[in-house]
Amino acid sequence: MIFDDAAKQAVVKEFATHPGDTGSPEVQVALLTHRIRYLTGHLKSHMKDHGSRRGLLMLVSKRSTILKYLRNASPTRYSTLVGRLGLRH
């Protein structure tokens, strides 16, 4: 995996909505975004790695689904998260 435990905990701590939060949409999208950014860089140097490309497409789809849910459930949380992560939605 691309994250060691310390890096993953740092991302969880930064985007958690309350202490002990590991499953909120904000945390899930933040972790997916960091994995997507890593795989994007990986694919720039390993262009023929189709397994990783498929994994990247699956991660993007999962992130999109969670963002759609958050946009419908709480537009303010959605806009705050998109701004913090620098996503173009």
**Residue spans per domain, the chain:** 22-85
Q: pTM of the prediction?
A: 0.92
Note the pLDDT tens digit of each residue in 5-62.
Answer: 898 999 999 999 999 999 999 999 999 999 999 999 999 999 999 999 999 999 999 9
DSSP H or E segment with residue 15: helix 5-15
Alpha helix ranges (H) inside 1-89? 5-15, 25-45, 50-73, 75-85
Q: Counting runs of H as helices and runs of E as strands, what totals does the chain give?
A: 4, 0
Per-residue confidence (pLDDT) for residue 1, from 0 to 100: 53
Per-residue confidence (pLDDT) for residue 89, from 0 to 100: 54
* CATH class label, 22-85: mainly alpha
Per-residue confidence (pLDDT) for residue 88, from 0 to 100: 78
